[in-house]
Amino acid sequence: MFKAFIFPVYARMAGIRRRPRRRQVTDRGRLLQTGTIVCLALGIDTDLNLVYQLFALLVVLILGSRLFLYFTRPRVAVRRQLPQFATAGEPFTYHVEVINLGDRVEQDLRLVDQPATRVPSLAEYISHQEPGEETRNAYDRSIGFHRFMWLLRLKTGIRTEPCDLPDIGIHARVMAAVEATPLRRGIVTFRATQVLHPDPMGLTHGIVSFDNSEQLIALPRRYQLSARFRLPGSRHFQPGGVDSTWSIGESDEFVSLRDYREGDSLRKIHWASSAKRNKPVVKEYREEYLIRQALLLETETEQPPVLEAAISLAASLILNETQSDAMLDLIYFSESAEVLSSGHGAMSVNRQLEALACLEASANSIEALTAATLRHGSELSGCIILLTDMDASREAMIASIRNSGVALEVIVVTDRPDEISVPPAIHVLDARDMEREVAKL
């Protein structure tokens, strides 16, 4: 296969691009270099013309401009200030502080913040298809260069724009505003910050590089949900109150103490008070009714666009839940079935969004997700299930959870909606046009 043959060449090219450089030629410098080559070709015979003299002059200009860079290297320091989160596909601005440590005013500087380049694997290169690749000509599709460059940008994860710095006084500091756009969800790594300084003729920029690696979490893209869409379920009794969690079963907080009665759980005994009274004393919990919903996300798919659409929809549903008396449990599969709760005194939705940002496709997760939901089905007011396909195992999951008495809403995200047959109560969304599909919910 030609793509497997040409892939190592593309990977080496990407490796060469990642090597640190000491200088960068400007457009004016490239024009001068082109003129130098032309003069060299025309002035080979020094007896016929005097073009060789122009060639010598241009060579002196180029060498002089590069030599000058070594004497004008700025003494500066940089400090990047990243936000806590960004969102895939949405531009944002962050700041880089540049400090002048030298004894002269620095002028005409330019700042470039570089993300860490990640080269895709051969398996990713062969299995992934660039959006709109089918519209390219046969030659471009066969050599796969555009696909590789698209994957290279996607794996890198973010695009930053260079910015010009104002004049920096002696021992002064300025804040540079850098425009950036995350290209995907997940962890994005910044590798280095470069400060470019020009020679007097503007032919070449010298590069001062600062190795200051940092990471940023890009949250999944979100969709605008219809105002009429609501998660299923109503107020439901919660044993142990709002602080109860699925990991320990009941809350550690209580409203009063009382004497032990036969049948009380040993976990409720307040040992300090029991020791003082010389008889068992138990903690009495407040009883409370609230809306507790679950969002079950299934990621057992080999189609990256479908996985991204499902995760983005899950993030949209999490942020759409605004009821003050509601809790939302995100159920997903990583190495095992995981549950993260938010709302009504629990952790914030940021933890859930972080988990979605780093979530990968899973295999053999249907049974584990079903068991995790059924284990605590009595505490749930309702559950919304996000599926990436429909088959017998997923139908069994839906039936098991529904038979436990939990109110259900089922959504299937797929790239082949016409091939899936589901009951009318189940929503089927086309992953290729999620903006329009989500508006129908």
4-21 confidence digits (pLDDT tens): 888 888 888 887 666 666
Single-letter amino acid code for the residue at 239: P
User: Residue 107's closest CA among 21, 205, 15, 197?
Assistant: 197
115/322 Cα distance (integer angstroms)? 35
188-199 confidence digits (pLDDT tens): 999 999 999 998
Average pLDDT, the chain: 85
Q: Which residues of 375-389 are buried (b: 16+ CB within 10 A; e: fewer)?
A: ebeebbbbbbbbbbb
The answer to whether residues 315 and 89 touch, using CB atoms and an 8 Å cutoff, is no
Confidence of residue 244 (pLDDT cuts 50, 70, 90): very low
Instruction: Specify the CATH number of the domain 2-219.
Output: 2.60.40.10
Q: What pLDDT is stored for residue 335 in this prediction?
A: 85
Q: In the predicted model, what is the mean pLDDT of residues 49-77?
A: 89
Domain 288-438 has CATH 3.20.20.70: no
Confidence of residue 248 (pLDDT cuts 50, 70, 90): very low
- Token pair, residue 389, equals 């396909």
Query: What residue spans define the domains of the chain?
Result: 2-219, 288-438
**Is a pLDDT exceeding 90 seen at residue 200?**
no
212-234 confidence digits (pLDDT tens): 899 999 999 999 887 767 666 55
User: Residue 411's closest CA among 226, 273, 263, 169?
Assistant: 226
- Token pair, residue 188, equals 């994005």
Q: What pLDDT is stored for residue 126 in this prediction?
A: 87
The answer to whether residues 127 and 151 touch, using CB atoms and an 8 Å cutoff, is no
123-142 confidence digits (pLDDT tens): 888 888 888 888 899 888 88
Q: In the predicted model, what is the mean pLDDT of residues 335-358?
A: 82
85-114 confidence digits (pLDDT tens): 999 999 999 999 999 999 999 999 999 999
Burial of 248 (0-12, 13-18, 19+ CB in 10 A): exposed
3-state secondary structure of 253: coil
Confidence of residue 299 (pLDDT cuts 50, 70, 90): very high
**Is a pLDDT exceeding 90 seen at residue 78?**
yes
CA 431 to each of CA 252, 415, 416, 435, 436: distance values in angstroms, whole numbers, following the listed order: 43, 5, 8, 9, 10
381-433 confidence digits (pLDDT tens): 889 999 999 989 999 999 999 998 888 999 999 988 888 888 888 889 999 88
- In whole angstroms, what separates CA 356 from the centre of its chain? 9
Q: In the predicted model, what is the mean pLDDT of residues 298-323?
A: 87
- Token pair, residue 85, equals 């989160």
The answer to whether residues 113 and 216 touch, using CB atoms and an 8 Å cutoff, is no
Max CA distance (Å), the chain:
116
Q: Which residues of 397-415 are buried (b: 16+ CB within 10 A; e: fewer)?
A: bbebbeeeebbbbbbbbbe
Q: How many CB atoms lie within 10 A of CB 432?
A: 15
- For the chain, what's the residue count? 441
The answer to whether residues 144 and 128 touch, using CB atoms and an 8 Å cutoff, is no
Percent of the chain with pLDDT strictly greater than 70: 88
User: Residue 199's closest CA among 75, 20, 28?
Assistant: 28
